[in-house]
């Protein structure tokens, strides 16, 4: 795909992965339209952290994916759509489950319908490894059963099935990218790596929930390159593709690596407030990325050690952006 000839829309562009995807697409020469949630402060989220020289030609569109009119207007001018807009915090989904259905399921419906009506050439819908729940076998391939172990994961299963239905019912050229745990600069403190790094860099003990769950972590630049690889490959329409490293690490061991990367010392304290309900905790997620590699030629380039070092350095340089004394759900 010649990205210099593409008009591309990214929903959820102000988020962590979304902002990195926008930046990568700009680097590729695409004409990018960034769809962000409307707010009266004219706050563009993480897009504010992209160097100004890269965003001169970027179009910002404010709206709400739950409103079919606003997303319809945004999609109308584009040939490729990356749909990332979503509520993602698992702990908050226990408190406000209806908002997850509204944004993640109904929002995805609105995006798919708009893409169908506007004749979009390729749609990449964003899933999550959380839809698999605790692994019945590892590594997890795309045929693994789906389990709604939190309102968040249930809403993402619903969104994935909406995208699937638009391919099967209407032949919409939509592919589903299913990233495992992505990390890197700009990520909020609701995620494990910035949460640990912020606490250590602020001179605090590290408060965590369960230390035993195992996660597969992928550096954000590898993830967004996976997204563009899915979009560029004609054979991905109608498919679900896992994006992950294929390697797992426990939360406890990961915390030790993050603390070491800061060059500081810190204790680890189990905090019940940060622990998921027993039956909702996903204990093991390790990616089988063989289909992604075979179909698109993509593979991750960053080792976990490299990625943690880059992420911790960025957080250290930008610690003022984080409210280190507040637990961010």
Could you tell me the domains of the chain? 3-249+274-321 (3.40.50.720)
If you search the block for the tokens 């589903």, which residue do you land on? 176
pLDDT value, residue 276 = 84
DSSP annotation of 101 reads I
If you search the block for the tokens 């299913």, which residue do you land on? 178
Strands 181-183 and 249-250: what pairing? unpaired
Q: Is the overall model pTM greater than 0.85, yes or no?
A: yes
Q: Is the sign of the CA dihedral 31, 36, 38, 41 positive or negative?
A: negative
pLDDT value, residue 326 = 86
pLDDT value, residue 329 = 78
- With beta carbons less than 8 A apart as the criterion, state whether 133 and 90 touch: no
pLDDT value, residue 328 = 75
pLDDT mean values, one per 10 residues, the chain (329 residues): 96 98 98 97 96 95 97 96 97 97 98 98 98 96 98 98 98 98 96 95 93 96 98 98 97 96 93 88 96 98 98 97 86
pLDDT value, residue 200 = 96
């Amino acid at each position: 795909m010649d990205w210099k000839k593409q008009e591309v829309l990214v929903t959820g562009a102000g988020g962590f992965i979304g902002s990195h995807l926008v930046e990568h697409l700009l680097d590729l020469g695409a004409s990018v339209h960034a769809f962000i949630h409307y707010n009266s402060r004219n706050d563009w989220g993480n897009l504010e952290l992209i160097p100004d020289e890269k965003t001169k030609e970027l179009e910002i569109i404010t709206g709400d994916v739950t409103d079919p009119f606003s997303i319809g207007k945004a999609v109308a001018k584009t040939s490729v759509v990356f749909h990332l807009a979503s509520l993602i915090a698992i702990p908050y989904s226990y408190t406000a489950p209806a908002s997850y259905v509204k944004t993640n399921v109904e929002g995805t419906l609105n995006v798919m319908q708009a893409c169908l009506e506007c004749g979009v050439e390729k749609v990449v819908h964003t899933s999550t490894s959380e839809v698999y729940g605790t692994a019945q076998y590892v590594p997890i391939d795309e045929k693994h059963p789906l389990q709604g172990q939190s309102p968040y994961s249930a809403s993402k299963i619903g969104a994935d099935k909406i995208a699937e239905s638009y391919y099967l019912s209407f032949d919409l050229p939509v592919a589903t990218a299913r990233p495992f745990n992505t990390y890197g600069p700009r990520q909020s403190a609701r995620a494990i790596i910035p949460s640990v790094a912020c606490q250590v860099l602020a001179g605090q003990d590290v408060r965590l929930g369960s230390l035993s769950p195992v996660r597969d972590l992928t550096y954000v630049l590898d993830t967004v390159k996976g997204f563009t690889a899915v979009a560029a490959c004609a054979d991905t329409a109608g498919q679900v593709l896992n994006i992950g490293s294929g390697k797992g690490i426990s939360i406890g061991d990961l915390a030790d690596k993050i603390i070491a990367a800061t060059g500081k010392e810190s204790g680890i304290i189990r905090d019940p407030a940060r622990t998921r309900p027993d039956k909702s905790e996903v204990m093991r997620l390790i990616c089988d990325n063989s289909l992604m590699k075979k179909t698109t030629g993509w593979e991750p380039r960053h080792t976990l050690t490299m990625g943690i070092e880059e992420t911790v350095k960025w957080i250290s340089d930008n610690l003022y952006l984080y409210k280190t004394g507040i637990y961010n759900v």
